[in-house]
């Protein structure tokens, strides 16, 4: 575990993206607070400890201070048999960070779609008006729901 610059972290993540490495991404957003960031880091250390026996584990916590702060978490491991355990640990970590953010009054529902996990709902983070607009477009151009039910992957507007 180390503290590094974003460019150093990017190089480290690139090294982790070797063949046969399994990766999980999840994201959340919250307003800036030193105390809350310290709490998130403590939650991160606890999450890492919960899966430290998994072969080839590499877990990254990246904080980008933007207008609405985006925190990106990623985890990498080698063995497909560890997928369920890793998915569960990552989801539990995000839930704890979100709960902590809500309790501190710092939560932001925005989820950066490119780093969202499959269980997350980044579309709702765009706001009710935009979500309704996207649903209207879906209804007009995909009335049969092909892209909502037949096409695998992606984030479904029907949620």
Q: Which of 7-16, 22-31, 149-158 has the highest mean pLDDT?
A: 22-31
Domain ranges of the chain: 6-120, 126-159
pTM over 0.75: no
> CA torsion 78→93→120→62, rounded to 10°?
-70
69 band by pLDDT with thresholds 50, 70 and 90 = very low
- The token duo for 138 is 């879906």
Mean pLDDT, range 58-75, rounded to an integer: 65
Lookup result for tokens 């959340």: 28
The 10s digit of each residue's pLDDT in 89-144 is 889 999 999 999 999 999 999 988 888 888 888 899 999 999 999 999 999 998 98
Mean pLDDT, range 32-58, rounded to an integer: 89
- The token duo for 6 is 């974003």
Strand partners, 28: 71
Helix and strand numbers, DSSP H then E, in the chain: 4, 4
Architecture of domain 6-120: 2-Layer Sandwich (3.30)
* Residue 64 vs residues 27, 58, 130: alpha-carbon distances, Å: 11, 19, 24
């Amino acid at each position: 575990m180390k503290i590094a610059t974003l460019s150093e972290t990017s190089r480290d993540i690139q090294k982790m993206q070797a063949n046969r490495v399994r990766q999980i991404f999840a994201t959340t957003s919250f307003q800036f607070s030193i105390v809350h960031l310290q709490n998130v880091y403590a939650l991160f250390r606890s999450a890492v400890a919960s899966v430290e026996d998994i072969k080839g584990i590499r877990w990254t916590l990246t904080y980008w201070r933007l207008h609405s702060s985006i925190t990106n978490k990623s985890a990498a491991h080698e063995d497909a048999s560890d997928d369920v355990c890793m998915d569960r640990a990552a989801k539990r970590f995000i839930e704890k960070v979100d709960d902590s953010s809500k309790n501190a009054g710092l939560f932001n529902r925005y989820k950066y779609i490119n780093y969202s996990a499959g269980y997350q709902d980044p579309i709702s983070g765009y706001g009710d008006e935009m979500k309704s607009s996207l649903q209207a477009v879906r209804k007009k151009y995909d009335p049969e729901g092909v892209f909502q039910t037949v096409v695998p992957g992606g984030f479904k507007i029907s949620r």
